[in-house]
Amino acid sequence: MEIEQFITKAVTTAIGALYGEVDPAQIQIQKTRREFEGDYTLVVFPLLKLTRKSPADTAGPIGEYLTAHYPEFASYNVISGFLNLSLSDRFWLDRFAAIADDEAFGTAPRTGRTIMVEYSSPNTNKPLHLGHIRNNLLGYSVAQILAARGHRVIKVNLVNDRGIHICKSMLAWKRYGQGETPASSGMKGDHLVGKYYVEFDKHYKAEIKELVAKGMEEDEAKKKAPIMLEAQEMLRRWEAKDPEVYSLWETMNGWVYEGFDVTYKALGVDFDKVYYESQTYLLGKSLVEEGLQKGIFFRKEDGSVWIDLTADGLDQKLLLRGDGTSVYMTQDLGTAFRRFEENNLDEMIYVVGNEQNYHFQVLKLILKKLGYDWSDHIYHLSYGMVELPEGKMKSREGTVVDADDLIRDMVETARDMSNELGKLDNCTPDEADAIVRTVGLGALKYFILKVDPKKTMLFDPRESIDFNGNTGPFIQYTHARIRSVLRKADETGIDYSGNPAQATLLPEETALIKALSDYPATVAAAAENFSPSLIASYIYDLAKQFNGYYHDHSILKEENPECRRFRLQLIAQIARILRKGSALLGIEMPERM
């Protein structure tokens, strides 16, 4: 039974004995505010209609009843309309024993709900960058948290493998590539294709400049630039399954997929299923035809298909271009339909940046108008962009922070800082490599996930690897410190198994047990809010509490064997919860540092 449930049940009994039957909705239990003495507080005001007494005269007898009839309550105090209750050391020791005995502590029973989480969703015209890293880490972590809450979670990736963006890279490679391949260039495939996306943009801008110099308006020049017209023609040929274009598309996308897989593996993220836009856009087109027949959509004179959402406070939305080619909305309609039909989903979560807020608002509305009520169970997990001290990234200009480069730099920065602090002095080369990779990636993941998803964040690689402060390495080092203490206990033959015969707790020990007790509720809140930052904040606070305790109190050198036994068991549980919480963020905890 959770602590709040136990207190609610005891309070209900006390009120029933003192004042008569009470409506459960009137019993409000909350954690006692830090400036007051106590663990949990009963809000008395809702009970006054039943008791017909003042707040103080209502609260006092309840506190007396609880301390007299329940050994779990050590004392109470009344502040205005609040009854502050202090739980006994025996209660917290029993609570700690229950935590230690529960192998699944923090993991909820199966709910029977199926939730799909889509993240990554890259275009196949460029490598993954820093923005993709936030997307992947956020999506993967949310999926892990939801699974911990007992849901069946399906992690999916939608690869945007068709459209004008890939045609730009294909055309530039065809014009300027001279047969270059990943093997001949020594470049990862996604980097090679991205190189030609930038190349396209360079020539496109040059053609626009030339047309403007000849007297054409810039907006017109952007539409009439020969290289853009040729890319649009390539897209039409692709949709018509032109053998030459299709073969080139398959080849270049194959290069990209191989490159993506390397990056995903380095990040430690994976997927249960991968969808491809090229396999869903035709289904989307059929839904558009269905909408036309029902009069939900309309066709303009140029042949393009639209939906008018002005009555819903929005605008008109394009669904098919005049030449018959599809847009992002087209394939998203088809993909959503297929996912709900195939998987009988209870909820579909799209992890996509906040620049697409309008897109998902429109997607849900269109599906609703088509008669698909499951559209109410689509949720857009909208997150803020990642910015650098230099400002925003621009992939067309090749000024993005490449994901592979960043991962490599994080690992090397971790190596440099670990060497500076002497943390690798007693490690073999293989151990050092494993540690700096764990620390570098832990720093990256924690720095990104500790920020509320809705907020834009500023990324500073070196700050993220600081071994002090609110960072991944600080938490990892705390875990390694605990594991070191436990190893020394084992090496010196100290047996800390069994139930310690301890009757009293230090205030810091009670605080640590309270913190451990909060873990399930923290996971529940993180799942409800789709916010890994709540887990990050929790494990940081737990690590900080432990370090204060470790600094002030002896563990291995404690002379009282029962006290030492309890302290070793306590820090072992702290290490376990640090591991469990960090795993929900995709972060490994090292055994030594």
DSSP 164-211: HHHHHHHHHHHHH-TT--HHHH---HHHHHHHHHHHHHHHHHHHHHHH
Residue 154 sits in a domain whose CATH number is: 3.40.50.620
Q: 363 and 410 share a domain?
A: no
Its pTM stands at 0.91
Residues 378 and 415 both lie in one domain: no
Closest CA relative to residue 166, chosen from 259, 277, 70 = 277
Q: Which of 71, 87, 103 is the last residue of a domain?
A: 87
CATH classification at residue 24: 3.30.1360.70
Burial class of residue 166 in the structure, from the number of CB atoms within 10 Å of its CB (0-12 exposed, 13-18 middle, 19+ buried): buried
Give CA–CA dist 486/572, Å, rounded: 7
DSSP code of 590?
A: -
In 3D space, the residue among 163, 171, 211 whose CA is nearest the CA of residue 193 turns out to be: 171
Residues 21 and 135 in one domain: no
Domain co-membership, 348 together with 462? no
Q: Is the separation of the CB atoms in 382 and 354 below 8 Å?
A: yes
| Domain-embedded: residue 97 | no
- Strand order, beta sheet including 347-353: 273-276, 152-159, 114-118, 347-353, 378-383
Tell me the pairing of strands 273-276 and 152-159: parallel
- 502's torsion region: left (phi>0), alpha (psi -120 to 50) or beta? beta
Question: pLDDT, tens digit, for every residue of 242-287?
Answer: 999 999 999 999 999 999 999 999 999 999 999 998 888 889 999 9
Q: How far apart, in whole angstroms, are the C-alpha atoms of residue 350 and residue 382?
A: 8
Q: Any long-range contacts for 314-320 (C-beta under 8 Å, 24+ apart)?
A: 314/358, 314/361, 314/362, 314/365, 317/362, 317/366, 319/288, 319/291, 320/285, 320/288
Compute the distance between CA of residue 277 and CA of residue 156 in angstroms, rounded to an integer. 13
Return the sign of the alpha-carbon dihedral for residues 471, 475, 481, 487. negative
Please give the pLDDT value at position 398. 45
How many C-beta atoms lie closer than 10 Å to residue 167's C-beta? 25
Specify the 3-state DSSP secondary structure of 357. Answer: helix
Nearest CA-CA partner of 124 in 286, 248, 284: 248
Pair 158, 288 in one domain: yes
Same domain, 57 and 185: no
* Token pair listed for 13: 């009994």
What gap in Å lies between CA 492 and CA 367, rounded to an integer?
66
Stretch (H or E) spanning 17:
helix 3-19
495 and 563, same domain (yes or no): yes
Beta bridge partners of 378: 348
**Are 317 and 366 a contacting pair, CB within 8 Å?**
yes
CB half-sphere exposure, 270, CA atoms < 13 A? 5
Contact 121, 157 (CB under 8 A): yes
What is residue 493's predicted lDDT score, i.e. its pLDDT?
94
CB 418 within 8 A of CB 436: yes
DSSP for residue 110: P
8 A C-beta contact, residue 504 and residue 435 = no
Which own/partner contact pairs does 223-229 have at CB distance under 8 Å and 24+ positions apart? 227/171, 227/200, 227/203, 228/204
Q: How far apart are the C-alpha atoms of 331 and 333, rounded to whole Å?
A: 5
Half-sphere exposure of 281 (CA within 13 A, CB side): 18
Q: Are 253 and 123 in contact (CB under 8 A)?
A: no
What is the pLDDT at residue 1?
Answer: 66
Residue 151 tokens read as: 């849901």
Q: Are residues 376 and 440 in the same domain?
A: no
Q: Is residue 106 part of a domain?
A: no
* Domains: count for the chain: 3
SS3 of 120, please?
coil
Helices assigned H by DSSP within 268-327: 277-293
Residue 593 lies in a domain: no
Helix ranges, 240-327 (H): 243-267, 277-293
End position of a domain, from candidates 358, 387, 416? 387
Is 337 found in the same domain as 247? yes
d(CA 26, CA 20): 13
User: In this structure, is residue 178 part of a structural domain?
Assistant: yes
For the CA atoms of 515, 519, 520, 523, the dihedral, rounded to the nearest 10 degrees, stands at: 140
Question: Does 352 lie in the same domain as 282?
Answer: yes
Instruction: Report yes or no on 223 lying in a domain.
Output: yes
Contact 128, 154 (CB under 8 A): no
The dihedral formed by the CA atoms of 567, 569, 574 and 575, expressed in degrees to the nearest 10: 120
pLDDT in tens, 81-123: 999 999 999 999 999 999 999 999 999 999 999 999 999 999 9
Is 71 inside a domain boundary? Answer: yes
> How far is the C-alpha of 1 from the C-alpha of 380, rounded, in Å?
34
Phi, psi of 494 (to 5 degrees): -80, 120
Q: Which residue has the tokens 């029962």?
A: 562
Q: Are 356 and 471 found together in one domain? A: no
- Ranges of H-type helices in 32-129: 48-51, 55-69, 89-101
| 532 occurs within a structural domain | yes
- Cα distance between residue 145 and residue 153, in whole Å: 10
C-alpha 410/C-alpha 444 separation (Å) is 7
Within a domain: 262: yes
Q: Please check whether residues 507 and 422 belong to one and the same domain.
A: yes
Range of the domain at 19: 3-87
CATH no. for residue 534? Answer: 1.10.730.10
Averages of pLDDT over runs of 10 residues in the chain (593 residues) are: 90 96 93 94 96 95 97 96 96 95 95 97 92 96 98 96 93 96 96 96 96 95 96 93 96 97 96 92 91 95 95 94 87 93 96 95 96 96 84 48 90 88 84 92 95 90 81 95 96 90 89 97 97 98 98 94 95 98 97 85
d(CA 310, CA 305) in angstroms, rounded, equals 16
Give the end of a domain, one of 333, 362, 387: 387
Distance CA(493)–CA(23), nearest Å, equals 55
SS3 content of the chain, % helix, strand, coil (to 5): 60, 10, 30
